[in-house]
Structure 1
Amino acid sequence: MKLSHPSRFAAALAPLVLILAACSGEPEPTPAEKAAAAAVPGAPPSAAENLKAANAVASNVREEGELFEFAYSYPKEAAALPGLAEWLDADRAAKRDALAAESRRDQALAKKEGFPYRPHSHLQAWQRVTDTPRFLSLSSEISTYTGGAHGMTNFDTLLWDRNHAARIKPLDLFVSGEAFDAAIRDDFCAAIKRAKAAKGIQPPDEADSVFAKCPPASAQTIWLGSSDGRRLDRMTIAIAPYEIGAYAEGDYRINLPVTAALLRAAKPEFAADLRAGR
């Protein structure tokens, strides 16, 4: 998304329909799905946790002025988990303070050098990918602007492990990044080629382009999802601009199932929380 001014893309973050068909916009589990999920190993929510979840309210903080524009939100599922909500609030405060400091510095420099100052921005929204008995999986798209020709889009991800009340990354479920890459490399690289072809982009010549090589999937942002609300069985790999193509190509969302090969790369303690998807 080309961002010539932060206010033009603020509204675009609100819906954040990010993960397309493979990992986003999951409906509320049906009674049958909830019953099936109860049989999956993990820490079932207590009555107190259920009450907190019922009363939780999504967090959406926005601040806009002549110096900067800042927005940070997360869903009610995250607000219902005190440890996670505390981390998200701290992350929000740190990013807001960093944006304010950078904006004041650049505004002072613009005044000193005699050129116009363009308000900076940091707009970030966390979205629920899936909520299984053990994991709450969140995705995040981050749009930033620091006064240049255009803004930038980046991504983030996290899993909240209810068994340990801890925040982890999707790659933590696997024995190593290298094992993760080896398990999905062929499917991942083939999917990138299809995604580029869908945009009408021909594969670059390996001798002429820095974008010719297929990058390691582990170096990108991984969003883990579930088709049944029980186990993690699919993923979206989000690739920011400039990673596999010119800025004009935009970002890419590569949707892949969890495969048998990927299951073999999982750490034993997470084997029951994953399954091969279709």
Structure 2
Amino acid sequence: MTIFRSMAGALMLATAALSQAAAEKSIESNEQGTGYSLEFSYPAVIAEHPALQQMVLAERQTQLTQLKQWGKDWVSENPERAVETDMESFITWQTVANLPRFLSLTKDIWDYSGGAHGNWWRSSIVWDKQLGTVRKPIEMFVDKQAFDRVMHERFCEALDTERARKDGQEPVAGKDDAEYWQDWMERCPKPSELDIILGSSDRKTFNRLAVYVGIYTVGPYVEGDYEIDLPVTANLIAAVKPEYRGVFAVSPKSAAKARER
């Protein structure tokens, strides 16, 4: 399992371009038993919000319970290999942006539960410090359709460019969901259906944004995942729910281009 553990370590150490994680302390808790292991960490800022910390630790317990069951089943079916730890999970929470009212976080999970390789994925949430509630970033917009109207074309263009960079082929126009079964490796899913990650360069407003595309979503396992950075524009802010618009700002690069015009 050394190869898998090294892969997981590399994934967990790599931070998203939007992340503030490098400068903060983390709280770690590792547990290993017969047939399973769990390595878990979250930024210390989560502990400043008891309800959020309780949610995070409850998720840890759920994952640990599942791993223990998998490990028990593994040992039962493979008694001669009971000393091996073949059910592994690495879960890392990271701070993307810590604003006066909101805390933007990502959760990276890497799992191995048998087979040729492990799997990984990323999700994101926004914690409202004022209300003590959690929501998905997309919920801060008027609706998914409003978000897609502004971001879909830009997202597809950027995704196709990244695909071309990975496979060395010329970019192709991303296909929409209706053509999914024709060629899923060229499809362009609606960004609202994926994980939206909100970031900040000034720690005051959300002026950075990325769309996370997990493995197998638009290509084979070997292609890996994508994190597509997109600008926060005035048009996008217009698609934000009125009560949240004040916490969004146009991306610095977009603002500079607007001034040039």
Quickly name the TM-score band, shorter chain normalised: 0.7 to 0.9
- Give, as a single letter, the amino acid of the residue that structure 1 aligns with 2:221: Y
Unpaired segments ≥5 residues, structure 1: 29-55
When the two chains are superposed, the root-mean-square deviation of aligned CA atoms in Å is: 2.7
Hey, what's the Cα distance between the residues in 2 that align with 1:102 and 1:27? 33
Give 1:4 shift.
7.8
Give 1:215 shift.
0.6
CA contact (8 A) 1:4 1:150 kept: no
Q: SS state of the match for residue 209, structure 2?
A: strand
Give 1:71 shift.
1.3
CA contact (8 A) 2:12 2:108 kept: no
CA contact (8 A) 1:227 1:233 kept: yes
Hey, what's the Cα distance between the residues in 2 that align with 1:11 and 1:27? 15
Instruction: Work out which of the residue numbers 250, 256, 260 in structure 1 matches 2:224.
Output: 250
Q: Which residue of the partner structure matches residue 186 of structure 2?
A: 212
Instruction: Work out which of the residue numbers 99, 102, 125 in structure 1 matches 2:92.
Output: 125
Question: Any residues of structure 2 matched to 1:1-278 within 5 Å, and which?
Answer: 5-17=3-15, 19-20=16-17, 23-25=18-20, 58-111=26-79, 119-202=86-169, 203=171, 209-277=183-251, 278=254
Give 1:164 shift.
0.6
Q: Which residue of the partner structure matches residue 36 of structure 1?
A: none
- Give, as a single letter, the amino acid of the residue that structure 1 aligns with 2:231: P
Hey, what's the Cα distance between the residues in 2 that align with 1:261 and 1:108? 57
CA contact (8 A) 1:136 1:161 kept: yes
Runs of 4+ in 1 over 4 A off after TM superposition: 114-118, 203-208
More moved, 99-108 vs 243-252: 99-108
Give 1:77 shift.
1.2
CA contact (8 A) 2:91 2:107 kept: yes
Corresponding residue pairs, total: 245
Cα deviations by residue, 1:149-198 (Å, 9 ceiling, x for unpaired): 01101111111101211111101101112221221001100110111122
CA contact (8 A) 1:222 1:236 kept: yes
Cα deviations by residue, 1:218-272 (Å, 9 ceiling, x for unpaired): 2211210011111101112111111011111111110112122211211111111
- Give, as a single letter, the amino acid of the residue that structure 1 aligns with 2:13: P
Unpaired segments ≥5 residues, structure 2: 255-261
CA contact (8 A) 2:34 2:72 kept: no
Q: Which residue of the partner structure matches residue 37 of structure 1?
A: none
Hey, what's the Cα distance between the residues in 2 that align with 1:179 and 1:116? 53
Hey, what's the Cα distance between the residues in 1 that align with 2:205 and 2:95? 15
Relative to structure 1, is the Cα distance of residues 172 and 229 closer, same or farther in structure 2, using a 3 angstrom cutoff? same
Q: SS state of the match for residue 188, structure 1?
A: helix
Q: SS state of the match for residue 167, structure 2?
A: coil
Identity across matched positions, percent = 31
Cα deviations by residue, 1:40-79 (Å, 9 ceiling, x for unpaired): xxxxxxxxxxxxxxxx973211123441121111101111
- Give, as a single letter, the amino acid of the residue that structure 1 aligns with 2:57: D
Hey, what's the Cα distance between the residues in 2 that align with 1:171 and 1:61? 31
CA contact (8 A) 1:259 1:276 kept: yes
TM-score (norm 2): 0.84
